[in-house]
Amino acid sequence: MGCRLPDSDPTAPAASSAAALELTVVVPTFNERANVRKLIRLVEATLGQTRWQVIFVDDDSPDGTAAEVKAVAAVDPRVQCLHRVGRRGLAGAVIEGIMASAAPFVAVMDGDLQHDETLLPAMLDALRTGGADLAVGSRYCGGPDADASALGARREAGSRLANWLGRQVLKADLSDPMSGFFMVRRSAVEVVAPRLSTSGFKVLFDIVASQDRPLKIVELPYTFRAREAGDSKLDNGVVVQYLGLLVAKLSKDVISPRFLMFAMVGASGVVVHLAILRSLLDIGFSWAQTLAAIGAMTSNYLINNAVTYRDRRLRGLKLISGYIKFCVLCSVPLAANVAVATVVFERGPAWWVAGLAGAVVAAAWNYVTTSKAVW
């Protein structure tokens, strides 16, 4: 009796091709605990015999979304949780989810049930048999039931404006480039992945804008549902970030969204500075310039914290210690600022020319040092 060699060829694939995964549904979540099980049931009901999996990408939601997903994942191998810690951001979460997939096709869908999952089979069909690279669930492509009534009127107008701007940059015929609901050939994302921005909400826009060769795109109308549980995380900061992404893509990635944002905040600081300077001129130019610089510094700090560095936003005690660091760093050029401005002022030009001269000297120093030391 000798020992028997195993029947199976050790070089053969571990799984048979009959079970090959066809579709990964990537669901970014932040505080969506109450929606997890329902979403999985709906996906299961609509995808039927398709070989699918769903990967929830959760940024360590305080409501315990990840634990809820893992409770299901423990008994259902089609469900997975990518539990990220120390990071926040919808775009980054979506990209990581896509990169974790081994399926040829990947769908991205919100975790709050606002996207109509019954569109998934039609999207898959467009990619599988229609030869499309990308199928986009569109709120605006004219179907009778495509409307945005689940958004408020102001949000809808803003959304349409953002779409219009996006189309001008993309030069692709997309009626809803801001859509968070789409299905794409995984390879089309992998080739551009190193170039994608991980902040903001506009990952579809970024994927399309970053391609060297245009994608074959189809749009399918759907109705954006109202949210049942939890809150929207889209706020004004997200909108500003999107504008930064537009400029970055227009400049072929030469101007980074973060740099642009810092410059815009700086410009707002100049306005604050000049307003304070003007209103305090009576107390003497040097004093007025000093207080104006402090006012601008404080407003720059708060806006940068809320917008430019929103993914690393400081809160509570850290907000205060960050402010102290920011002030110390900004005080280094403050002396230079006041000196330059006072010299210019004494040579005679208008008060605002003098104020501006001082502010510009300080700005360059501030950008370089605070981006490294504070956030």
Of 172 and 361, which has the nearer Cβ to ligand GDD?
172
Task: Choose one: 78-86, 102-110, 157-165, 339-347; the region binding Mn ion (CB under 5 A).
Answer: 102-110
In whole angstroms, what is the distance from residue 54 CA to residue 71 CA? 14
213: left (phi over 0), alpha (psi -120 to 50) or beta: beta
Chosen residue from 137, 180, 322, 358 binding ligand GDD by CB under 6 A: 180
- Under the binding rule (CB under 6 A), the answer on residue 126 touching ligand GDD is no
112 binds Mn ion (CB under 5 A): yes
Radius of gyration of the chain (CA): 26
Closer of 89 and 355 to ligand GDD (Cβ): 89
According to CB under 6 A, which one of 25, 40, 107, 110 is a site residue for ligand GDD?
110
Query: What does the alpha-carbon distance between residue 166 and residue 177 come to, in Å, rounded to a whole number?
Result: 7
> Would you say 148 and 156 are in contact if contact means Cβ atoms under 8 Å apart?
yes
In the sheet that holds 182-185, the strands lie side by side as: 79-83, 52-58, 23-29, 105-108, 182-185, 134-138, 217-221
Query: Residue from 24, 25, 29, 326 that binds ligand GDD (CB under 6 A)?
Result: 29
219 binds ligand GDD (CB under 6 A): no
Decide if residue 133 touches Mn ion (CB under 5 A): no
Residues in 227-246 at the binding interface with ligand GDD, rule: CB under 6 A:
232-234
User: What DSSP string describes 51-106?
Assistant: -EEEEEEE---TT-HHHHHHHHHTT-TTEEEEE--S---HHHHHHHHHHT--SSEE
Position among 69, 79, 98, 178 found at the interface with ligand GDD (CB under 6 A): 178
Phi, psi of 17 (to 5 degrees): -70, -15
272 binds ligand GDD (CB under 6 A): no
User: Does 312 contact ligand GDD by CB under 6 A?
Assistant: no
Pick between residue 37 and residue 233 the one whose CB is nearest to ligand GDD: 233
Among 24, 53, 65, 114, binds Mn ion (CB under 5 A): 114
From 85-93, 192-200, 212-220, 251-259, span contacting ligand GDD (CB under 6 A): 85-93
Residue ranges of the alpha helices (H) in the chain? Answer: 36-47, 65-73, 90-99, 120-128, 153-170, 186-190, 203-209, 236-250, 257-280, 285-303, 316-346, 351-373
Applying CB under 6 A, which of residues 103, 111, 132, 340 lies at the interface with ligand GDD?
A: 111
Among 36, 93, 103, 218, binds ligand GDD (CB under 6 A): 93
- Per CB under 5 A, does 223 bind Mn ion? no
257-261 long-range CB contacts below 8 Å, 24 or more apart? 257/197, 257/199, 257/200, 258/308, 258/371, 259/367, 261/304, 261/307, 261/308
Spell out the residues 6+ positions from residue 63 whose beta carbon is closer than 8 angstroms to its own.
Answer: 31, 32, 33
Taking each helix axis from N to C end, the angle separating 285-303 and 351-373, rounded to the nearest 10 degrees, works out to 40
Using CB positions, name the residue nearest to ligand GDD. Answer: 180
- Least distance in Å: CB of 58 to ligand GDD? 6
Residue 217: name its binding partner from ligand GDD, Mn ion, none (Cβ under 5 to 8 Å by kind): none
Interaction of residue 133 with ligand GDD, rule CB under 6 A: no
Of 43, 55, 59, 106, which lies in the binding site for ligand GDD, with binding defined by CB under 6 A? 59
Tracing tokens 């040829």 back to the chain, one arrives at 104
Does 206 bind Mn ion (CB under 5 A)? Our answer is no
Binding site for ligand GDD (CB under 6 A): 28-30, 32, 57-59, 88-90, 93, 110-112, 114, 159, 178, 180, 201, 232-234
Binding site for Mn ion (CB under 5 A): 110, 112, 114
